[in-house]
Structure 1
Amino acid sequence: MALVMGSKGLRVPVDFNVFIGGISQAGRVQSFKHPDIEFKTDDANLAGVLGEVSIPLDLKAMKCELVLKDVNRTLMGRLGKTDNTPLVIRAAARSLDDTVDSLKITINGRFNKLESGEWKPGEAATQKYAIDLDYYKYEDGGEVVYEIDKLNNVLIVDGTDLWQGMRAALGQ
């Protein structure tokens, strides 16, 4: 598990649960892989500037993965579709002083890939889903760390709306 550093010191996510449309998937999910958040940039060598600079444009595609030890009919039915039912991942992060904080991730997008793996006698089968995200929100203790809503042109990082000026310029 990843370590989370914050004002409260070192914290480690020790357990998590996934909710689909508010319904707990406890005991079914094996792992969740967070999306990479990466800006597209244009490298430019400009007059009057000492060397090449990267000009931020917008965000690259965000993808995440969900692995289940379950033949999950609900998720199988979402393959190839855009569904407005969010997936919520809630985690408990424990610090060295044994305090526990809540981490919450809300995602939405298209389930574009399913790997059903192999079925073998005496072994649990897995399903691995790849999800192309339109929406990603990461909250730590109720505070928004990231909120990315591609379809509504929203990019919030640690409470600052980085795309507010862009929306205003576009009349949105």
Structure 2
Amino acid sequence: MGLPRTLVNINGYADGEGYLGVISEFEQPKLALATEDWRGGGMIGSVKLDKGLEPMEATVTLGGHEKSLIRKFGTTSVEGVRLRLVAAYRADDGSAAQAVEIYIGGRFTEIDMGKDKPGDQTEHKYTAPLNYYRRVVDGRTEVEIDMIQGMFMVNGIDRHAEIMAILTG
């Protein structure tokens, strides 16, 4: 019998500045293949053909007003904002906690500053379409995607290396 590993706590960093005690939520990007239906002659049904990756998007929510992040809005570079999220996951079965680091790169396309009311919590939500994503678990890179450089690593295997070798060879 096993128990699920659940998030115990999280911290975020942008340009070396930490947000411990300020970061309240991180919505991770959905990893999805872009596919297209194909049914050729003689087939009794369609199959999904791999057409690359779907766009990725992440959202980070911070309590309060963070001018350093607001100042990153409107950058002209698709790689304008680099964030590192550090999370601790643990199962209540006595096993060791697991370190998960997520590195993302993109630019903020939306900052939702929500509602402000004296005495109430204030949260700002930053949304970024991503061109870069890396997930490291206990020091080992599990997934790394670089949309611009054409890298798609999963479990140490670059699933796009053969194509890039043809293009750059």
Fold in common (TM above 0.5): yes
- 1:22 & 1:128 partners in 2: Cα distance? 20
From the superposition, tell whether residues 169 and 49 of structure 1 become closer, same or farther in structure 2 (CA, over 3 Å).
farther
* Aligned Cα root-mean-square deviation (Å): 1.7
TM-score w.r.t. structure 2 length? Answer: 0.91
1:81-122 CA-partner distances (Å, limit 9, x unpaired): 135552110111113214112110001101000111111111
Paired residues of 1:29 and 1:70 also in contact (CA < 8 A): no
Paired residues of 2:36 and 2:49 also in contact (CA < 8 A): yes
- Higher fraction of strand: 1
Identity of aligned residues (%): 27
1:48-70 CA-partner distances (Å, limit 9, x unpaired): 32310110111111001011112
Question: How many residue pairs are counted as aligned between the two chains?
Answer: 165
From the superposition, tell whether residues 52 and 161 of structure 1 become closer, same or farther in structure 2 (CA, over 3 Å).
same
- Specify the alignment match of 1:90 in structure 2: 86
TM-score w.r.t. structure 1 length? Answer: 0.89
- 1:21 & 1:9 partners in 2: Cα distance? 36
* 1:52 and 2:46 correspond: yes
SS of the equivalent of 1:80 reads coil
- Specify the alignment match of 1:148 in structure 2: 145
Bigger mean CA offset, 136-145 vs 80-89? 80-89
Trace 1:21-170 onto structure 2 (pairs within 5 A).
21-81=15-75, 82=77, 83-84=79-80, 86-95=82-91, 96-170=93-167
Q: In the alignment, residue 113 of structure 1 is paired with which amino acid?
A: E
1:17-43 CA-partner distances (Å, limit 9, x unpaired): 001122211111110000011111111
